[in-house]
Amino acid sequence: MIEQSPINLTIRRTTASDFEAVFAILEEAATWLQTRGIPQWSFFLTDPGKDFVRNRIITAETYLVFDSANSPIATFTLQWKDEEIWGQRGLDGKAGYVHGLAVARRTAGKGLGRILLNEASNLIAKNSRLLMRLDCMANNEPLCNIYRCAGFSDLGVDDSNITGKGLRLFERQI
C-alpha cells in the first residue's frame, strides 16, 4: 500500500476481487475516448478485452486509486518487462512500463494523471529501474502532448505485436 498522496489519495495494489472497480474505470475511459473518435482502448470494450484486464491484474502490478471517501477514482498498471510493445528494449531490465492509466471522468482535469505518473515513477525507482516507459496510439495527439509536457521523450512510432497499430513510445528518466 502506498501512503496517502498530497491530495489525500490512497493507492493500493489490486487483487482479483478488484476487477469490477478497475474495469469500470477503464470501460468509462474507453467509451469516452470512442466518443471523441479515438479508438485507443476500444479493445477493452470486448469480451477478450475484459479477459485481458483480468489477466493483467493477476500477472502485473495493477493499482487502484481511492479518494478521501474511499471511492475508486483511477487505476494504472506497472510491468517490469514489455517485449510485446517495446521489442528487445522491453527486456533490457532498465525500465518500468506504465499501462492502463485511467481516471474516472468525474475527476478528470484536476492533475490526477500527473500525480499518478509520479507515483508510478516512485514505485519504479524502488525497483531499481532508471526509466519509466509508456505508449499510446500515435494519432492521440492530445495524450502525446500530455506526456511530452510531463517530461517524457518522444521515441517515435512503432507497431505493436498486440494491436498492429502505430503506437507512439515515450520514456522518462527517473
Q: 162: pLDDT confidence band, cut at 50, 70 and 90?
A: low
Q: Work out the mean pLDDT of the chain and round it to a whole number.
A: 91
pLDDT average, residue stretch 7-18: 92
pLDDT at 2 over 50: no
Query: Considering the entire predicted model, what is its pTM?
Result: 0.90
Identify the pLDDT of residue 35: 93
Tens digits of residue pLDDT in 26-70: 999 999 999 988 888 989 999 999 999 999 999 999 999 999 999
The identity of residue 115, as a single letter, is I
- Greatest pairwise CA separation for the chain in angstroms: 43
Which tops the pLDDT comparison, 82 or 160? 82
CB 137, CB 38: distance < 8 Å: yes
pLDDT at 110 over 50: yes
Of 100-104, 106-110, 113-117, 161-165, give the lowest mean pLDDT range: 161-165
CB 56, CB 82: distance < 8 Å: no
| Distance from C-alpha of 120 to C-alpha of 77, rounded to nearest angstrom | 9
Name the residue with cell 518500468. Answer: 96
**Please, what are the domains in the chain?**
10-134 (3.40.630.30)
